[in-house]
Structures are given as structure tokens and as C-alpha cells.
Amino acid sequence: MKKITLFLITIFFISCGDNKEVSPIHQDIKELVFASGQLEWDDSYNLTAQTDGVLKDVNFEVGNMVIKGNTIASIDNKINNINEKTAEEQLAISNKNITSYAPALQQLEQNIQYAESKYLQDKKNAERYERLQLNNIGSKVDYENAQLAAKNSLSSLNGLKKQYANVLQQAKQQQIAARGQLESNIVLKKYNYITVTESGTVIKKLKTNGDYVRKGDIIAIIANQKKVEAVLNVDENSIDKVKLGQQVFIKLNTNKNKVLKGKISEILAAFDTQSQSFICKATFDDVIDNSLFGTQLEANILVGEKKNALLVPRNYVGFGNKVNVKGKDENVIIKTGIVSTEYVEVLDGVNQDDILLPLKP
């Protein structure tokens, strides 16, 4: 595959018998790195299934514009529906358990009322025995028993109040858990619907009505048709010449008679093992009408350019950059610049007045 192409004016040749003599001349020269690739749209993403089930209600095709937030398909997953309904019922029970009508709280409230009445009665009785004791009336044993009864009644009352608070706290915790479970199941139920996350155009449709899909399966690929870019595969021997901002000349396979201009916008750092090349991206200078995703293309990246360069045919340059100069016994080593499959730029070693002969076998 040709990696580098040069555009220049044909060098002047001098014929002398069977040997072609060449005089180097000055001409403008451009060095272009060849790259194959395809047309892609920026901001592409996979629309994936978030749950398992049978795909239904698919209402999109390749090329359709889809709007963020719109549902374009659904997944029949009855378990998610059942779980949401169950969570709603559990939350309703939890909400009731924190009200004064909750059976457990009502029972404790009644016990507390009884315990308060008993404590008040025992307290009064203990106070009466205390007055009698101060007047040396009654036995000390009766006084002590009354005091003990009042103390036990108060302890029982406080214990019931604490139990009421604990039961109420547990009911509130159950309510929080039930609400969280419901919210979680609402989210899971939403996974039954394939919703567009970002507006764009459907460029690939991988599933259709009736397909069984699993969580993570790609339903469709969506991209932004307004942001077109060329994804280029550059040979590893040429990637070091490619820089951001360099001009690119692109021909689409759908219209090879038209040359589109662009610029290198991104150079991916990693080597792509699938294409065995480095990946570069180029944006176009002008808007492309009716661009088709995946259109194959060929590109030439302008990596070097010189005005009035000194050029000689490449087949006159041998190993070690040696050339055969007419009138010299030994080959001359030249310093080269831009090198293509056909021509070599000479930086030093020969000049325009020299005459080159083909290298001897």
C-alpha cells in the first residue's frame, strides 16, 4: 500500500544513449501520508437493555431522529411490575404502623394509661402512709410496702413508655426501608422501557420486536448527525509525522470525484490491534450534506510542504543515500529531506548543476 504520495512537476530528463541523465531541479513539493478510514458521527452511544425480557413496542428504524426522554421500545419483565406493587403495599402497611391507629401502639397506649392510673393510686397511698408514719401512726412495714409499690408502679410506667418509643422507632425504620424499596422498584420498573438518553439519529438497530434481551444487550446505536468526522487508520511507520491541525484531503467512496478538506482533530494514543494501525480523527472544514454513517473513505494527510525544493528521482538514490554523479569516480552521499515512492528532496550533497546517472548494479 502506498503510504506517501507527492504532488510535483515532472523533473527534466536528459537522454544520453542508453543511460538516462538527470539534472536536479527546484520545484514545490508536498508530502502526504495516506490513510484509509470511514465516516462516523460524533457523540455516538449504545442504547442498552437494563433488564431481562422480551423486547416489544419497537418503534424506530435506522435513520430515525430520536429525542431525549422519549421511549422507543419496552421490555416485558413482569417481575419488576410485581415487585413494585408488592413494595407499594408494604409501604402502605408501614405508614399505618407509625400512626396512633397501629394495633401495637394502641395496645401499648392502653397499657400506659393503666400504668399511669396505678402509679397515681400507689403514689397517693405511699404519701398517706408517709404522713401516718410522721405522726407515729401505723406500722413501718405498711409504710415501706406502700413506698415500694409506688416505686414499682413508676418503673413499670417508664418501661412501657420506653417500649412505646422503641416500637414507634422500629415502625419508622420499617417505613424508611419500605419507602426505599418502593423507590428502588420504581427505578427497576422504568428499566422495562427503552428511553433515549441523548437526542440523535439511529445509526444501527441490533434488536427488534420479539427478541429476548438480557441486561447489557445493545438495542441500538445513536449518534449526533450534526457532528461528522473521519476516523482514519494510519500506519505505524507514518504516525510520528501526523500532528494536530494538519490539513487532510478526503475522498468518500460514495463520491470519489470530490475532494473534501479537513483537519486532524484527535490522535488516539493507543495502537488499535483490530485494524493494526493508529487511529486519528479529522473534522471537516465545511458541512457535509447527506452524510452516511460508516461510509468508507481515503485520505491524504499533509505532513510536510516545501517551496522551491531540490528534487531527484528516488530510483537514482541508492542504499545509504548514495547517488552516481557524472564525472566523479565515487558515489556521493546526499542529505535527504522529504522522501516519497518516486522522488527525494536533496538538502545537501548535489546541486542543480550536477548530472546524475543511474546507479551501477
CB neighbourhood size of 62 (10 A): 12
323 and 245 within one domain: yes
Q: Is pLDDT above 90 for 114? A: yes
Identify whether 60 is part of a domain. Answer: no
Q: Is pLDDT above 90 for 155? A: yes
Give residue 315's domain range: 1-42+226-361
What would the pLDDT profile of 71-89 be if each residue is shown by its tens digit? Answer: 999 999 888 888 889 988 9
The DSSP line for 209-233 is TT-EE-TT-EEEEEEEEEEEEEEEE
Grid cell of 70 as nine digits: 422519549
Domain end: 190, 218, 243, which one?
190
Domain end: 167, 190, 213, which one?
190
Domain end: 190, 217, 241, which one?
190
Identify whether 299 is part of a domain. Answer: yes
Q: Taking a C-beta distance cutoff of 8 angstroms, is the pair 133, 78 a contact?
A: no
Average pLDDT over residues 47-73: 92
Q: Is pLDDT above 70 for 341? A: no
107 and 164 within one domain: yes
> How far apart are alpha carbons 184 and 176 in whole angstroms?
12
Domain count for the chain = 2
Decide: helix, strand or coil at residue 109.
Answer: helix
> How far apart are alpha carbons 74 and 184 in whole angstroms?
19
What would the pLDDT profile of 85-101 be if each residue is shown by its tens digit? Answer: 998 898 888 888 888 88
Average pLDDT over residues 6-32: 60
The domain spanning residue 235 has which CATH number?
2.40.30.170
162 and 34 within one domain: no
311 and 246 within one domain: yes
Identify whether 209 is part of a domain. Answer: no
157 and 264 within one domain: no
Identify whether 148 is part of a domain. Answer: yes
Q: Would you call 84 exposed, middle or buried from its count of C-beta atoms within 10 A (0-12, 13-18, 19+)?
A: buried
Average pLDDT over residues 331-345: 83
Summary mean pLDDT of the chain: 86
**Percent over 90 (pLDDT), the chain:** 43
Identify whether 236 is part of a domain. Answer: yes
pTM for the complete prediction? 0.54
> How far apart are alpha carbons 79 and 53 in whole angstroms?
10
DSSP annotation of 67 reads -
Identify whether 294 is part of a domain. Answer: yes
9 and 124 within one domain: no
Q: Is pLDDT above 50 for 55? A: yes
Decide: helix, strand or coil at residue 90.
Answer: helix
> How far apart are alpha carbons 172 and 97 in whole angstroms?
8
Q: Is pLDDT above 80 for 24? A: yes
> How far apart are alpha carbons 48 and 179 in whole angstroms?
28
Output the CA–CA distances (angstroms, integers) from residue 285 to 98, 111, 267, 311, in the order listed: 67, 84, 18, 32
Q: Is pLDDT above 60 for 345? A: yes
What would the pLDDT profile of 265-320 be if each residue is shown by its tens digit? Answer: 999 988 888 889 999 999 999 888 767 788 899 999 998 888 888 888 888 888 89
> How far apart are alpha carbons 48 and 44 in whole angstroms?
13
273 and 322 within one domain: yes
354 and 259 within one domain: yes
Grid cell of 110 as nine digits: 392502653
Paired sense of beta strands 212-213 and 296-313, if any: unpaired
354 and 241 within one domain: yes
350 and 257 within one domain: yes
103 and 35 within one domain: no
236 and 174 within one domain: no
